[in-house]
């Protein structure tokens, strides 16, 4: 299984069925925090829902179409980072992520994104990585900005968050800018 050690406290691991209870408990204990920016939170009502997500993630990885990795900080799952679908023809992908509220402000997500971007460019050999963030989600926007992504523009009313449409800011970095 995919495992990427970032430093002595931080690693990324593909999520597996063994993680389903802990993963669900993390979501459940951060429900209000996560719901502000993630449309799937209300649909995650049980460990079974989490298991279904993990199955889907395992299929995604098996089909060579991206992955979903748990972010493990001091041997505790604190969030997730993953690739949305890969375009092997165009050699691009986009990154999605979330972090439990109590673990923000420690540099965890910046380190996790940096590791995933290295993997995308060096191991997968892709040419472009994109991150999209809601235009009012300033904490999420800080990640690509900190990592030197280019702000490309705004997609208007692109995501329905519980009946409210939000704009996304599109950020990207190219292989030649990173490596």
Contact at 8 Å (CB) between 122 and 149?
no
Domain count, the chain: 1
- Global pTM reads 0.94
Residue 87's CATH number: 3.40.630.30
pLDDT of 1 over the 60 cut? no
- The answer to whether residue 115 sits within a structural domain is yes
- The answer to whether residue 54 sits within a structural domain is yes
What percent of the chain stands above pLDDT 90? Answer: 97
Give per-residue burial for 51-78: e unless 16+ CB within 10 Å, then b. Answer: bebbeebbebbeeeebbbbbbbbeeebb
Q: Which of 78, 63, 62, 65 is nearest to 13 (CA)?
A: 78
Q: Whole-angstrom Cα distance, residue 176 to residue 107?
A: 25
126-142: average pLDDT: 97
Q: How sure is the predictor about 179, in pLDDT bands with cuts at 50, 70 and 90?
A: confident
Q: How sure is the predictor about 2, in pLDDT bands with cuts at 50, 70 and 90?
A: confident
Q: Which domain covers residue 54, as residue numbers?
A: 3-127
- The answer to whether residue 37 sits within a structural domain is yes
37-52: average pLDDT: 96
- The answer to whether residue 157 sits within a structural domain is no
- The answer to whether residue 7 sits within a structural domain is yes
Q: Which of 126, 129, 130 is nearest to 89 (CA)?
A: 126
């Amino acid at each position: 299984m995919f495992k990427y050690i970032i430093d002595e406290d931080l690693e990324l691991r593909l999520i597996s069925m063994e993680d389903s209870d802990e993963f669900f408990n993390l979501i459940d204990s951060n429900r209000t925090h996560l719901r502000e920016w993630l449309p799937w939170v209300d649909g995650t009502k049980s460990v079974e829902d989490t298991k279904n997500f993990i199955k889907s993630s395992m299929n995604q990885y098996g089909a060579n179409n991206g992955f979903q990795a748990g972010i493990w900080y001091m041997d505790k799952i604190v969030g997730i980072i993953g690739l949305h679908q890969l375009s092997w023809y165009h050699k691009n992908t986009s990154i999605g992520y979330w972090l439990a509220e109590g673990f923000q402000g420690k540099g965890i997500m910046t380190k996790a994104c940096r590791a995933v971007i290295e993997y995308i460019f060096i191991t997968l050999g892709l040419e472009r990585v994109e991150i999209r963030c809601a235009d009012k989600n300033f904490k999420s926007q800080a990640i690509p900005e900190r990592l030197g992504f280019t702000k490309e523009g705004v997609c208007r009313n692109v995501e329905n968050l519980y009946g409210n449409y939000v704009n996304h800011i599109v950020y990207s970095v190219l292989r030649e800018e990173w490596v």
